[in-house]
Amino acid sequence: MTEEVSVMELLDKYMISSDGKVSTGFAKSIILNDGTNQYSGRLYWDSHDGYEMIWDGTAPPEADRPEFEYSLDSITEMDK
């Protein structure tokens, strides 16, 4: 088995720098309310897997249709 690399080992050997973080994903809390029913959950997106909506309970009927998550993301970006 190979020994773990330590912070000190790397610092002793290399000059290490970074140009900062690159955002490759996000999560948003989403609530849909039609006056009768309320649906809530989290909308996730990352650059590798795309969108995923995780509902707290029942999902609205439109949730299985194409571009649903993209449309939610677009609407919530307009709120800013």
Q: What pLDDT shows up at residue 22?
A: 79
Cα–Cα distance measured from residue 69 to residue 43, given in angstroms and rounded to the nearest whole number: 7
Q: Is the pLDDT of residue 79 over 80?
A: no
Cα–Cα distance measured from residue 80 to residue 64, given in angstroms and rounded to the nearest whole number: 26
User: Token pair of 1, please?
Assistant: 């088995």
Q: How long, in residues, is the chain?
A: 80
Selected residue with higher pLDDT from 77 and 23: 77
Q: What pLDDT shows up at residue 21?
A: 79
Q: What pLDDT shows up at residue 80?
A: 58
Tell me the per-residue pLDDT of 2-50, one tens digit each, with 9 for 90 and over: 899 999 999 999 999 888 877 899 999 999 999 999 999 999 999 999 9
Q: What pLDDT shows up at residue 1?
A: 86
